[in-house]
Amino acid sequence: MSAGVVKVGLLGLGTVGGGVIKTIRSQQEKLSSRLGKRIEIVKALVRDSEKERAVELDRSVLTTDFEEVLKSDVDIVVEVMGGVEPTYDYVRALIEKGCHVVTANKELLAKRGTELVDLANRHQVHLAYEASVAGGIPILSVLRQFLRTNDINGVRGILNGTTNFILTKMETEQLPYQEVLRQAQELGYAEADPRSDVEGFDAMYKLYILAQLVYGESLPLAEVKRRGIADLTSGQIRIASELGYRIKLIAQAQQAPEGIRLSVEPTMLPTNHPLAQIQDAFNAVQLSGNIVGDLLFTGRGAGELPTASAVVEDLAYLLTQPFTPHPEWKETEAATGSVTQQNGDHSLCYLEGSAPAATPDRVLHFLRHAGVDVHKLKVQFDLGGVLRAGLITSGMRAEHEELLQSDFGLQVRCFPLLGSVE
Ligand SMILES: NC(=O)C1=CN([C@@H]2O[C@H](COP(=O)(O)OP(=O)(O)OC[C@H]3O[C@@H](n4cnc5c(N)ncnc54)[C@H](OP(=O)(O)O)[C@@H]3O)[C@@H](O)[C@H]2O)C=CC1
Ligand SMILES: N[C@@H](CC=O)C(=O)O
């Protein structure tokens, strides 16, 4: 490392990369006095060097050739370009060269993290990734440093800002899904391919990383139960709200006697549940330690500056720390047996259809005889005679859903339910 300067290379100069440069510039004085050195961006890898950027940068710093970054005298590289290919090869080459790496790339970590952690340990370089989970919330450092003695049974949270923003706007402003998704993209919340957000992949990658830190192991991604929000309808959101519930994309890790279970799925929460209060692009992580009790961390989960905050804090922290090996990452077999229900076997089911047989009385009669308890019911008929109903049930099984469909012509969607049923 040159005297008086830390030379930083950037892989990517989009939303987060731009935020990193802005943050280093605005906080340079503070960073210099903390580190005793100035931070200088010496190389920034992009795809298109002609593109207009949100930050001004000397043209000699920009490159489209990774070899230029690799051959330069950078001390640390910040990887904020995303994806796995060619990113994995680049990060690997940098670690092998002895460069410290800070990354915000949860997909890379969830897919190749076990190898990268091992490689960084073998080359005695830091691999830091606070920004990869829950944006600006410093949850990973807390787990790694301040929750190592507690037994943590389960972790749940809202880990994707884009989907939380979409669900909030669909509910509170009745905006259509596509329009809010576009807003999330414009605000820099969404992934380059937003299917990663709306289909639950992004939250699944973050959950995988959380599980590695909480349990010292995770499941192969193929074993994680994952469902996104892309098929949710405004009718489902509205009827949930009328029943006193709110839909959130909840990521959850549970420790069962047979092993850990990971799931990401739209879940119904009573509106007074702490996670139901998390709106817009905010994220939250809720966990419980046997010594400390319940904890809830919340903050901005996506966007230029919250994410840059996590990246730059990581960068500054590792520059003040000697290398210590990172705990190994492992993958384990999925637990067998049925997944534990969130709240007994309560669910909120949304029914919609226009067949003459589908009257509320007939549907309730059928459910009662099938052994399904209905705790709360909200029925709407629109002018065209379409039945829309929301039911809080217990004992609803896949076979009941199929019969409601075949015998009553109803579309049925049941959501797991968190929290108390009034
Ligand atoms: N946006 C957010 O709120 C958050 C994002 N993240 C993660 O941070 C990373 C970056 O996200 P974000 O800034 O939003 O993404 P952007 O799409 O805004 O930026 C990506 C940058 O990487 C460059 N890039 C992409 N692929 C290549 C390639 N093959 N070769 C060279 N350069 C490339 C692009 O170049 P060019 O500009 O020329 O196209 C662009 O500058 C991702 O891993 C994302 O998951 C993490 C937390 C929050
Ligand atoms: N697309 C992600 C960005 C941050 O990780 C999200 O919306 O949460």
Please state the domain extents for the chain.
5-132, 139-301, 346-416
Q: Which amino acid is at 416?
A: P
**Taking the CA atoms of the chain, what radius of gyration do you get in angstroms?**
24
Give the DSSP H or E segment for 113.
Answer: helix 106-123
CATH class of the domain at 346-416: alpha beta
Contact indicator for 67, 94 with CB cutoff of 8 Å = no
Neighbours of 227 (CB within 10 A): 17
Return the structure tokens found at 23: 């943050």
Q: Which amino acid is at 325?
A: P
**Of 244-258, 274-288, 324-338, 389-403, minimum mean pLDDT range:** 324-338
pLDDT cut 70: percent of the chain above it = 96
pTM, entire model? 0.97
- Our mutation pick for probing the ligand 1 site, out of 20, 22, 43, 46, counting the most ligand atoms within 8 A of Cβ, is 46
Question: If you average pLDDT over residues 81-89, what whole number do you get?
Answer: 98
Using DSSP, state whether 137 is helix, strand or coil.
coil
Judge whether residue 382 has pLDDT over 90: no
Through-space distance between the first and last CA atoms of the chain, rounded to whole angstroms: 61
Phi, psi of 394 (to 5 degrees): -135, 145
Return the structure tokens found at 348: 């909120």
DSSP state letter for 328: P
Query: Looking at residue 342, what is its pLDDT?
Result: 47
206 is catalytic: yes
Using DSSP, state whether 402 is helix, strand or coil.
helix
Equal CATH topology for 5-132 and 346-416: no
Distance 269 CA to ligand 1 centre (A): 33
- pLDDT band, very low/low/confident/very high, at 338 (cuts 50, 70, 90): very low
Domain 139-301 listed as CATH 3.30.360.10: yes
Distance 282 CA to ligand 2 centre (A): 10
Residue bearing tokens 């990401």:
264
Give the DSSP H or E segment for 378.
Answer: strand 373-381
Phi, psi of 342 (to 5 degrees): -65, -40
Contacts of 107 (CB under 8 A, 6+ apart): 82, 83, 84, 196, 201, 202, 205
- Candidates 43, 106, 206, 248; catalytic one: 206
Indicate the fold that domain 5-132 takes in CATH: Rossmann fold (3.40.50)
The 10s digit of each residue's pLDDT in 123-180 is: 999 999 999 999 999 999 999 999 999 999 899 999 999 999 999 999 999 999 999 9
Question: If you average pLDDT over residues 49-66, what whole number do you get?
Answer: 95
Judge whether residue 1 has pLDDT over 70: no
Question: If you average pLDDT over residues 377-391, what whole number do you get?
Answer: 87
